[in-house]
Amino acid sequence: MPFQRFVEPGRVAYIAEGIHSGKLCTIVDVIDQTRALVDGPESGVPRTAVRFKQMHLTKFKFPLTYTSPTRIVRKSWKDAQISEKWAESSWAHKIDARKRRSELTDFDRFKLGRARQTRNRIITRVYQKLKTKAARSGRTFPARKRSKKTANPKNAAAKAAAKGKGKK
């Protein structure tokens, strides 16, 4: 499958490493093969150069001219509603969940484990009830449709011999 996300002005990127890690920015210009000029006026990233290895390209993009000033980037960001779209994305939800898990205390992890045990016990009880009810009514397994076997000469000879019709 061909690439869908290109390094281009207006592409929104997630900074994974460095001083501004965990923030969104917009690519404004490509400096060279390893760096881009980025700006994130709504996310707190100043206009600076960031290496491509430090950022991940997102699916979000909005129209932006070559080396647009910060005020144009801010206006385009708001018009495209990038912050709202990012907050709704599964990527942002995963990052938020990872952050919440890392902030759990020992007692919170204990309570979470107990809640999972309780949930699994309830699910197991309901499953067992349904299973026994189905077994009593004779619907444990659906009838399988068996395909007809192809004629095998060895099987045909063995069946004929068993019936007494084979050669003597």
Instruction: State the CATH number of the domain containing residue 90.
Output: 2.30.30.30
Q: Which long-range contacts (CB under 8 A, 24 or more apart) does 2-5 make?
A: 4/59, 5/57, 5/58, 5/59
- pTM, two decimals, is 0.67
Is residue 32 one of the residues assigned to a domain? Answer: yes
Q: Please list, residue by residue across 99-118, b when 16 or more beta carbons sit within 10 angstroms of its beta carbon and e when fewer do.
A: eeeeeeeeeeeeeeeeeeee
> Do 20 and 72 fall within a single domain?
yes
The predicted pLDDT at position 138 comes to 79
For residue 168, pLDDT beyond 60: no
Sign of dihedral through CA atoms 18, 23, 104, 90?
negative
**CA-CA distance, 107 to 166, in Å (whole number)?**
78
The predicted pLDDT at position 158 comes to 65
> Do 32 and 85 fall within a single domain?
yes
Q: 9-47: per-residue pLDDT in tens? A: 999 999 999 999 999 999 999 999 999 999 999 999 999
Q: Domain containing 127: what range?
A: 106-136
Mean pLDDT value across residues 107-112: 96
Mean pLDDT value across residues 154-167: 63
Question: Of 77, 102, 127, which one is at a domain's C-terminal end?
Answer: 102
Across the strands, what pairs with 11?
A: 61
- In this structure, the chain runs to a length of 168
Is residue 158 within 8 Å of 164, Cβ to Cβ?
no
Across the strands, what pairs with 40?
A: 45
Is residue 36 one of the residues assigned to a domain? Answer: yes
**CA-CA distance, 149 to 155, in Å (whole number)?**
10
> Do 48 and 117 fall within a single domain?
no
> Do 55 and 37 fall within a single domain?
yes
> Do 47 and 110 fall within a single domain?
no
For residue 124, pLDDT beyond 90: yes
Other CB atoms closer than 10 Å to residue 66's CB: what's the count?
Answer: 10
For residue 63, pLDDT beyond 60: yes
For residue 160, pLDDT beyond 70: no
Q: 74-86: per-residue pLDDT in tens? A: 999 999 999 999 9
> Do 68 and 111 fall within a single domain?
no
> Do 73 and 15 fall within a single domain?
yes
The predicted pLDDT at position 61 comes to 94
Q: How is 50-91 classified by DSSP, letter by letter?
A: EEGGGEEEEEEE----TT--HHHHHHHHHHHTHHHHHHHSHH
Q: What percent of the chain has pLDDT over 70?
A: 83
**How does the average pLDDT of the chain come out, rounded?**
88
